[in-house]
Amino acid sequence: MNLKDRNLVTIDDLSNGEILGLFSLATDMFDDMPGQLDVCKGKIMASLFFEPSTRTRLSFEAAMHRLGGSVITASDVGASSLAKGESISDTAKIVGSYADIIVIRHPWEGAAKVVADYAGIPVINAGDGGHQHPTQTLLDLYTIIKERHDIKGLKIALWGDLKYGRTTHSLIFALARFGADILFCPSPGLEVPAHVIEKLVNEYGGEVERLKDSARTDDNRFSIDAIYTTPNSPHQLAMMPDLSAQVELKDGVDALYVTRPQKERFTDKEQGQNLKAKYPVVNKKLLQDKVFRKTMVMHPLPRVDELAYDIDADERSMYFKQAARGVPVRMALLAALLGAKEINVPDVESPKPPVYHEYQQEPRPTCSNPRCVSIQPTETPYLKPEYKIVNTEPLTLRCVYCEHGFEPKFVASTDWHEHKLDTKKYHSADSHWAKFIHPENLIVFNSEEEAQSLGFKPSQFVGGRH
Ligand code: NCD
């Protein structure tokens, strides 16, 4: 199969079969590194890193060199035209005319999608704010498969900053798709965002069981916030609701995926809360617990204090292997997207995301995520907010850029009765009337003032459920 000219912006851009096909190619390439030196000869990769990076950038650049291609680079916002106020779309068009493929890291969520929309060449997201980091997920999955042969049925605990850790967001969706069960073990205050849970449940089925505080371990050493089980595995807690989180753990976990606190993304309030002080640490002492006897310890790196050096030599520690595997995995991806190599796609099941209606009416609500690319002053002159209607109960719109969701409070229809001013009414979003509005006619408001300023009057279905 040919992946030529495709983008990798979120992990949804590849099916399970395509991911496995890329892994086979990565292994073939690793087994014969000298044989790859002509694969991308004459091709140029632009490496645009507008946030700090060591591993991701160097492994992409090493991958392109090992394929015989060349690299052009811009890594410092201060030294590029972005500092002069250039929009992302302009940068994308320019770089798209210089290179054959773009790898981009940017602090704004959804920035990689904008580059992909405007560059005209394949684009790979190397991390967009706290949104996603799909190539890290590829090498995480590759490592799990290399070590355990399959992902289905594994129990994987995600540990640390699950709020801003973009690597965990892409990984959650991928693990769910491959049929793993996930235990969420966030540091207090850094729980998985609601929009990630919403997508997990609506698109991959399964069940998320939120645990009560009483289900946490006494010393908060391994506190579990929620458990996601895939549709194909029965849920122990659902069957035995009174049992503690330890039940989920007693058979051990296959992997502990640790992340550092992403303090550069903390809000001022979060900075003040000293979230780092409560951050759980993985060390030799913790791994002595028998539930971790066969547990792989994974980490995207860099580490700060959450991963002790005393476990580096432990055979369960995978993080240096993960980083090393980044090169062949990225070689396979670059070669495939450049059309220089085909992949063999095995016949495996891959859940298909539902097809959602797009929100079509004006005025478009502004995305409420302060880190979303769609609200940045350099981007608003050309970027129109875009949403998908991903749920009707409660009515939920998802931004196509950062994927944050929001639940508007009031709604109206463009198809108001006979188009008389008297019948131009707005309703509570949770009223039964709201459900009769066709998606293409739906207008949403965040406040009654907003609805009234556009000439709508309150219907009887405003305030309280009807
Ligand atoms: C991660 C990232 O940038 O999101 N690092 C990486 O790419 N290996 C994780 C992190 O910075 O904590």
Nearest atom (ligand 1) to Cα of 326: 8
Q: Shortest CA distance to 98 belongs to which of 117, 125, 70?
A: 70
Is 426 a member of any domain? yes
Mutation test residue for ligand 1: of 60, 187, 301, the one with most atoms within 8 Å of CB: 301
Are 233 and 205 contacting, i.e. CB atoms less than 8 angstroms apart? Answer: no
Is 200 a member of any domain? yes
Distance CA 47, CA 40 (A): 16
Residue minimizing CA distance to atom 1 of ligand 1:
300
Distance of CA 301 from the midpoint of ligand 1 (Å): 6
The 10s digit of each residue's pLDDT in 163-177 is: 999 999 999 999 999
Looking at the fold, whether 275 and 304 belong to one and the same domain comes out as yes
Q: Shortest CA distance to 242 belongs to which of 207, 213, 215, 209?
A: 215
Please work out whether the CB of residue 56 comes within 6 Å of at least one atom of ligand 1: yes
Mutation test residue for ligand 1: of 51, 133, 139, 162, the one with most atoms within 8 Å of CB: 133
Are 457 and 424 contacting, i.e. CB atoms less than 8 angstroms apart? Answer: yes
Is 350 a member of any domain? no
Task: Please state the rounded mean pLDDT for residues 439-445.
Answer: 94
**CB within 8 A of 415, min separation 6: which ones?**
437, 438, 441
Please work out whether the CB of residue 55 comes within 6 Å of at least one atom of ligand 1: yes
Mutation test residue for ligand 1: of 50, 58, 136, 143, the one with most atoms within 8 Å of CB: 136
Is 241 a member of any domain? yes
Sign of CA dihedral 192, 195, 196, 200: positive
- Which is more confidently placed, 455 or 127? 127
Q: Shortest CA distance to 64 belongs to which of 103, 118, 31, 6?
A: 103
Nearest atom (ligand 1) to Cα of 300: 8
Task: Please state the rounded mean pLDDT for residues 87-96.
Answer: 96
Q: At 405, is the secondary structure helix, strand, or coil? A: strand
Confidence at residue 222, expressed as pLDDT on a 0 to 100 scale: 64
Looking at the fold, whether 393 and 432 belong to one and the same domain comes out as yes
Mutation test residue for ligand 1: of 11, 51, 54, 56, the one with most atoms within 8 Å of CB: 56
Please work out whether the CB of residue 133 comes within 6 Å of at least one atom of ligand 1: yes
The 10s digit of each residue's pLDDT in 138-152 is: 999 999 999 999 999
Considering the entire predicted model, what is its pTM? 0.94
Please work out whether the CB of residue 167 comes within 6 Å of at least one atom of ligand 1: yes
Looking at the fold, whether 190 and 308 belong to one and the same domain comes out as yes
- Which is more confidently placed, 242 or 185? 185
Distance of CA 137 from the midpoint of ligand 1 (Å): 11
Distance CA 360, CA 443 (A): 8
- Which is more confidently placed, 159 or 210? 159
Is 282 a member of any domain? yes
Nearest atom (ligand 1) to Cα of 262: 12
The 10s digit of each residue's pLDDT in 45-61 is: 999 999 988 899 999 99
Looking at the fold, whether 278 and 327 belong to one and the same domain comes out as no
Are 118 and 401 contacting, i.e. CB atoms less than 8 angstroms apart? Answer: no
- Give the range with max mean pLDDT: 15-19, 265-269, 273-277, 442-446: 15-19
Residue 16 CA from chain centroid, whole number: 16
Residue ending a domain, choose from 256, 287, 318: 318
Q: What percent of the chain stands above pLDDT 70? A: 91
Nearest atom (ligand 1) to Cα of 56: 7
Domain that holds residue 403: 357-458
Q: How far is CA 211 from CA 152, 237, 242, 244, in A?
A: 23, 9, 10, 9
Please work out whether the CB of residue 260 comes within 6 Å of at least one atom of ligand 1: yes
Distance of CA 457 from the midpoint of ligand 1 (Å): 49
pLDDT for 203 beyond 70: yes
Looking at the fold, whether 294 and 328 belong to one and the same domain comes out as no
Looking at the fold, whether 308 and 166 belong to one and the same domain comes out as yes
Confidence at residue 163, expressed as pLDDT on a 0 to 100 scale: 96
Dig out the tokens for 376 from the structure. Answer: 């940045």
Looking at the fold, whether 314 and 431 belong to one and the same domain comes out as no
Distance CA 52, CA 100 (A): 23
Question: Domain with 125 in it: what CATH number?
Answer: 3.40.50.1370
Is 332 a member of any domain? yes
Distance of CA 305 from the midpoint of ligand 1 (Å): 15
Please work out whether the CB of residue 57 comes within 6 Å of at least one atom of ligand 1: no
pLDDT for 32 beyond 80: yes
Distance of CA 393 from the midpoint of ligand 1 (Å): 35
Please work out whether the CB of residue 326 comes within 6 Å of at least one atom of ligand 1: no
Looking at the fold, whether 266 and 249 belong to one and the same domain comes out as yes
The 10s digit of each residue's pLDDT in 353-380 is: 889 999 999 889 999 999 999 999 999 9
- Which is more confidently placed, 285 or 83? 285
Are 156 and 180 contacting, i.e. CB atoms less than 8 angstroms apart? Answer: yes
pLDDT tier for residue 219 given thresholds of 50, 70 and 90: low
Mutation test residue for ligand 1: of 59, 61, 167, the one with most atoms within 8 Å of CB: 167
Task: Please state the rounded mean pLDDT for residues 398-407.
Answer: 96
- Which is more confidently placed, 233 or 328? 328
**Total structural domains within the chain:** 3
- Which is more confidently placed, 275 or 328? 328
Looking at the fold, whether 308 and 327 belong to one and the same domain comes out as no
pLDDT tier for residue 243 given thresholds of 50, 70 and 90: very low
Distance of CA 365 from the midpoint of ligand 1 (Å): 31
Task: Please state the rounded mean pLDDT for residues 96-119.
Answer: 98
Are 47 and 72 contacting, i.e. CB atoms less than 8 angstroms apart? Answer: yes
Distance of CA 168 from the midpoint of ligand 1 (Å): 10
Looking at the fold, whether 103 and 192 belong to one and the same domain comes out as no
Residue minimizing CA distance to atom 6 of ligand 1:
300
**CB within 8 A of 267, min separation 6: which ones?**
none
pLDDT tier for residue 75 given thresholds of 50, 70 and 90: confident
- Give the range with max mean pLDDT: 71-80, 82-91, 102-111, 409-418: 102-111
Is 383 a member of any domain? yes
Phi-psi region of 127 (alpha: psi -120 to 50; beta: other; left: phi over 0): left
Looking at the fold, whether 331 and 265 belong to one and the same domain comes out as no
Task: Please state the rounded mean pLDDT for residues 311-329.
Answer: 98
Q: Nearest-5° angle of CA 19, CA 68, CA 23?
A: 15
Is 245 a member of any domain? yes
Distance of CA 19 from the midpoint of ligand 1 (Å): 20
Looking at the fold, whether 286 and 363 belong to one and the same domain comes out as no
pLDDT for 102 beyond 60: yes
